[in-house]
Amino acid sequence: MRENCECEDEECGCSNNECNCENCSCDEEGFLAINHPAPDFTAEAYHEGKIKKVSLEDYRGKWVIVFFYPADFTFVCPTELGEMAERYETFKKLGCEILSVSTDTPFVHKAWHDASDTIKKIKFPMVADPTHEISYKYETIIPEEGVALRGSFLIDPDGILKAYEVHDNSIGRSADELIRKLEAAIFVRENGGEVCPANWKPGQKTLHPGLDLVGKI
């Protein structure tokens, strides 16, 4: 069952994200599952020198990567965010926006942006989640620490979650691998019936699943 299910009924459906119990407090539209709507959120963000409200809904029609990290003024985080900043134009050319998220306040984001030459490179919104609401929705929160795991969530232009990965906080991520996944997701969306094999990159061969391929790969 989901953590916030209060009905204690094994038949309510929470265990498979199909809750049908009137006594359950979980949000049926907000559960996390591939090929289902990504949990929506509205929050403050530090962006372009200002603190402003952003909503996932604002980016409908674009690809979005929601990029959770534990905390500002840390160690692995600036290496990841710096790499994302350096590849930001590549993401934008692919029609993708990046929303980085941590449990810091927007004021801490600003202070880090002002203090760090690496973080100064960031031009995408740095979303603040001090209430942990977004981190709970995306199941990245570590409750006893008050910080998020390293989670990357790829959302399509219709707001549908297409891929995600969550790391232990000692393991950094690769912007190039996120770009590869994004390019594969774009190709599959635009070419119905085709699928991308391991390590696929644009220009390489894809597969068209069918009985003629069974046992031949």
187-200 pLDDT tens trace: 999 998 999 999 99
- pLDDT (0 to 100) of residue 19: 56
User: Are residues 41 and 107 located together in one domain of the fold?
Assistant: yes
Q: Match 């929705």 to its residue by tokens.
A: 137
The string of pLDDT tens digits covering residues 118-128 is 999 999 999 99
Residue 28 has pLDDT above 80, yes or no: no
* DSSP label at residue 39: P
User: Are residues 36 and 142 located together in one domain of the fold?
Assistant: yes
User: Are residues 36 and 19 located together in one domain of the fold?
Assistant: no
Neighbours of 209 (CB within 10 A): 10
Segments forming the whole domain that contains residue 20? 1-31
User: Are residues 76 and 140 located together in one domain of the fold?
Assistant: yes
- List the catalytic residue out of 12, 19, 77, 196: 77
Tokens at 157, concatenated: 């232009």
14 counts as catalytic: no
- pLDDT (0 to 100) of residue 25: 44
CA pair distance 217, 209, nearest whole angstrom: 11
User: Are residues 52 and 152 located together in one domain of the fold?
Assistant: yes
Q: What is the CATH number of the domain that holds 45?
A: 3.40.30.10
